[in-house]
Chain A
Amino acid sequence: MPRIAVFISQRLVKAVFVVLAIAVFNFFLVHAAPGDPAAVMAGEAGAADAKFVEQLRQQFGLDRPLYEQLGTYMGKVVQADLGYSYRQQRPVFDLLMDRLPVTLSLTLTSFVLALIGGVALGTLAAMRAGTWSDTAITVVGLTAYATPIFWIGLMLILLFSVNLGWLPAFGTESIGAGYTGWAAFVDRLEHLVLPVVTLGLFYMAVYTRLTRASILEVRDMDFVKTARAKGLPEWRIVSVHILRNAILPVITVAGFQAGHLIGGSILIETVFALPGIGRLAFEAVLQRDYQVLLGIFLLTSVVVVIFNLLTDLIYSLVDPRIEVAP
């Protein structure tokens, strides 16, 4: 399908530009950080005598003009070199790659569940607009939307872990339990339940509201009246005519919010002590490890760009008019 190919290559080019722009932005953030980067680095490395600082300055080209430094930096970024963390004594990129799987599994699971749940609840609420079930869904949604997710996490731990003892509260697996095979898998799943629910709840509320509003709008459109005039059964009108059209704005917003979801994982991983990117960010904040922090910023941005590409792809499969959209 050339139409989709053109569309996707357009988006790809755009994505590359976005990533480059973010990298430039990142570079300037490094330079905006207070204090002399060399001194900061020296401090991180645990030595602060003037000679060492000067040596670092030369080693990292900090005595060069800014544009030259930018060039060097961009060159490194392209080669996936995000600098070195003196605190952790490892290259930043390696650190990030170690932590990425946990974060991805957390955010993706939450996202999928939130989307499915949100669309289902939003549809239910819209189809029964004005009844008690609509009110109930709306009230619960509003509350979930207003609750800080770190606090929800803590309260869920309090309830399910401390008081009821149903689910584990921290980490990704029971350390020292020596589970293997199926048992280990179940154990890992159990550890994922609370974090996923916590992160997903908020976004489920978002998608519920969105779906509900979108359906209420589509419901009044002319082509739905046409479908009624054709004598189609109600379920068919809802599923084929209303829902498919109503889902489009939900996809758009969901794509835009991928970044928020990853931001949320900083809080979730902190609360549930999961060894992901988010937890790494929290540690980096505590230790003022700017190299790691900026690496995280760049990596998460790239993840979001990739995610947006995927949503665009899905969108182009759902909406035949894509080529007329900007």
Chain B
Amino acid sequence: MMTVSNSNAPLLDVRNLTIDLPRGADRPHAVEDLTFTLERGEILCVVGESGSGKSMTAHAVMGLLPKAVKVSSGVLRHDGTDVLSLPESDQRALRGGRIAMIFQEPMTALNPLMRVGDQIDEVLRYHTTLDRAARRARVVDLLASVGLPEPDQLRRSYPFRLSGGQRQRVMIAMALAVEPDVLIADEPTTALDVTTQKQILELIRDIQAKRHMGVMFITHDFGVVAEIAHRVAVMQKGKLVEIGPAAEVLNRPQHPYTRQLIAAVPHLIEHREAFGADRKPVLTAEKVCKTFHIGGGFFTPGRTVVAGNQLSLTIRQGETVGLVGESGSGKSTLGRSIVGLIKPDSGRIMFEGVDLLSLSRTAFRPYRRHVQMVFQDPYASLNPRHTVGDIITQGPIAFGEDRGRALEKAKDLLKLVGLDASAAERFPHEFSGGQRQRISIARALALEPKLLIADEPVSALDVSVQAQVLDLLEDLRHRLNLSMLFITHDLRIAAQICDTIAVMQKGSIVEIGPARDVFGNPQHAYTRQLLDAIPGKGWSIPEDVMATGRHGAALRTSA
């Protein structure tokens, strides 16, 4: 809009970029000696696990680095112009003008007190000379172009009225406001449900093609990469380890780290045998219903959310049942009802011939030890003030076990889940996310349960760690003949670990059956929609990578 385009230069040219972290951080550089280019009309995916520096790179390009973090060397050119040496006012013109950015969390990325139309209007006000009426027309156009319904009304809405997907569309409309030539997308679909993710990915791809933009797309998910990338850059601990055309990197990865990451991607396994229906049921849920009432007062009726509508399913001995659904589908409600954290409104949950829901608090207590739970957030599920030994032994002690014996058992369990027995004396904060999830599993096993409820146990973990924890669970269930209810939003993970799959939508189980059938021959439209939305389904992980990477020794060290 203001600089003359130099068509020979790449859109973004990053050379030897090094970003320093403040003193006291776990490493000196966030990004080290990074060199790459972004060309017109291409989507470059930057892939890496948390802490790889991929997000820092994006923020450096935008001039949005936190104050304590500084670019210490290297050159950053946009269309031939050295960005870092520009005066602040010119950098500002670039931001939002030529280079735009969208973020991971649509729920918090918009100003809650400002109408979305006004937030888009702001960009136009500071980057164009359009008058009010022209700007308003442009805002409506933009909202329509990102596929939002009734843009003229939506313009006047506040962000809290919109869903996550809609907000992300608003963010994209805002980014496109003055037709930038570079779009930086920092994990724009990570916080979204898989069906919404698919729509947003399609939108970004469409817009990119139509406007011939360069898109720098940051993600941790190789499925998304396979879906959208023209070129791929893989980052590890601040360094670029591999860059190349998407087909090359995805199908013939060179660097061991890339191979490791790709091998850890959860994928559909269609060879799992159907689980024997002749085994004894451990738990049967019959027509469980639960409705939540939110808010309300004297004058306002409040909202009701149906989290469970006639939910019925059976878990047999040694079977892993996957409960799959998007956020708000009510998949956690059933799990929580079984362990007694939620009281359903009606229905029965039969365990060894007893209806757990009919029991009083005290009568229910003995059954607690048979049904144990593994939680989602490894950082929130361990009491920070107790030692790991305490955490594991508290359950058995509450059930009358001798402290000394409980501790001995805890140490054995720690070994069982792949940790050292000395871990018992340490505090949770000394462990990584994956290790904490192992501790969490050890705690659940300490009561020798028959049934394990795993509520999104790996969704807070990096892919490589995710794969290890899944391996551990798979290993344990066979070794201990555990039954498991595995709750997840990720169909690929469910496919990997579950014998039976139940698909939930808006509080109801819409389809239930052997994993092979549900994935191979889905009956319900919603199941098909979910399967269709799995990112990267057209790409299969190369066989040789699978074989070498999956159980490689290098993989284990990172957790």
> CB–CB under 8 A between A and B in the complex?
yes
**Chain A interface (Cβ within 8 Å of chain B)?**
6, 9-10, 13, 221-223, 225-233, 236, 240-241, 244-245, 318-321, 323-324, 326
Which residues on the B side are within 8 Å of A222 (C-beta)?
A: 103, 105, 108-109
A241 CA / B111 CA spacing, docked (Å): 7
Q: Which of B91-99, B201-209, B277-285 participates in binding chain A?
A: B91-99
Does more than half of chain B's interface fall in helix, strand or loop, or is it mixed? Answer: loop
Rounded to whole angstroms, the CA-CA distance of A232 and B298 in the bound complex is: 43
Does residue B126 face the partner (Cβ distance < 8 Å to A)?
yes
Query: A10-B297, A229-B62, A231-B96 are contacts. A320–B158 as well, Cβ < 8 Å?
Result: yes
Contacts of B62 on A, CB cut-off 8 Å?
228-229
Q: How many residue pairs, one in A and one in B, have C-beta atoms under 8 Å apart?
A: 85
| B-to-A contact residues, CB < 8 Å | 62, 64, 92-97, 100-101, 103, 105, 108-114, 122-123, 126-127, 158, 160, 171, 174, 295, 297-300
Given contacts A223-B109, A226-B110, A320-B158, contact A326 B295 (CB under 8 A): yes
Contact B295 A230 (CB under 8 A): no
Complex Cα–Cα for A297 and B488 (A): 58
**A324–B126 contact, CB under 8 A?**
no
Given A319-B113, A321-B160, 17 more A-B residue pairs with CB atoms under 8 Å apart are: A223-B111, A225-B109, A226-B103, A226-B174, A228-B95, A229-B96, A230-B126, A230-B174, A232-B96, A233-B126, A240-B114, A240-B122, A244-B114, A245-B112, A245-B113, A320-B113, A320-B158
Q: In the complex, what residues of B have CB within 8 A of residue A6's CB?
A: 299-300
| A323–B95 alpha-carbon span in the complex (Å) | 35
A323, B300: Cβ atoms under 8 Å? yes
B residues less than 8 Å from A233 (CB atoms):
92, 126
CB distance from A302 to the nearest CB of B (A): 21
Q: A231 contacts which of B127, B158, B299 (Cβ < 8 Å)?
A: B127
Task: Contact check, B299 vs A9: say whether CB atoms are below 8 A apart.
Answer: yes
Inter-subunit contact A231/B109 (CB<8 Å): no
| Contact across chains for B160 and A231 when beta carbons are under 8 A apart | no
Give chain A nearest CB distance to B138 CB in angstroms. 15
Q: B111–A231 contact, CB under 8 A?
A: no
Tell me the dominant secondary structure on chain A's binding face. Answer: helix
Cα distance, A233 to B96, chains bound together (Å): 12
Which of chain A's residues have a CB closer than 8 A to the CB of B299? 6, 9-10
Task: Report the separation of the CA atoms of residues A111 and B64 in the bound assembly, to the nearest whole angstrom.
Answer: 38
CB closest chain-A residue, reference B174 = A230
Selected contact of B171 from candidates A221, A226, A245, CB within 8 Å: A226
Max chain B C-beta neighbours (<10 A), residue from A222, A226, A326:
A226
Q: Name the B residues within 8 Å of A320 (CB-CB).
A: 112-113, 158, 160
Sorted nearest first, the 7 A-B pairs with minimum C-beta distance are A231-B96, A231-B95, A230-B96, A222-B108, A320-B158, A229-B101, A223-B111
Q: Please give the distance in Å from A213's CB to the nearest CB on chain B.
A: 18
A318: B residues at CB distance < 8 A: 113
Contacts of B297 in A (CB 8 A): 10
Tell me the nearest residue of chain A to B178, going by C-beta.
A231
Q: A230 touching B123 by the CB < 8 A rule?
A: yes
Interface centre among A223, A233, A323 (most CB of B within 10 A): A223
**Residue of B at shortest CB range from A248?**
B113
Complex-state Cα separation, A244 to B110, whole angstroms: 14
Q: Which of A240, A320, A324 has the most CB of B within 10 A?
A: A320
B111 and A245: CB pair below 8 A? Answer: yes
Question: Nearest CB to that of A220 among chain B residues?
Answer: B66
Docked Cα-Cα span, A323 to B94, in Å, equals: 39
Complex Cα distance, B64 from A222, in Å, reads 12
Chain A residues whose C-beta falls within 8 Å of the C-beta of B100 in the assembled complex: 229
Give the distance to chain A from B120, nearest Cβ to Cβ, in Å.
9
- A residues near B127, Cβ cutoff 8 Å: 231
In angstroms, Cα B110 to Cα A221, docked, is: 10
CA distance A318 to B113 in the complex (A): 8
Distance of A245 Cα from B159 Cα, bound (Å): 14
B110 near A232: Cβ-Cβ < 8 Å = no
Subset of 11 A-B contacts with CB under 8 Å:
A6-B300, A9-B299, A10-B298, A222-B105, A225-B103, A229-B100, A231-B93, A231-B97, A232-B122, A232-B126, A244-B113
Q: Which residues of B contact A231 (CB under 8 A)?
A: 92-97, 123, 126-127
CA distance A95 to B495 in the complex (A): 80
Q: How far is the CA of A226 from the CA of B297 in the complex (A)?
A: 35
Chain A residues with Cβ below 8 Å from B126 are 230-233, 236
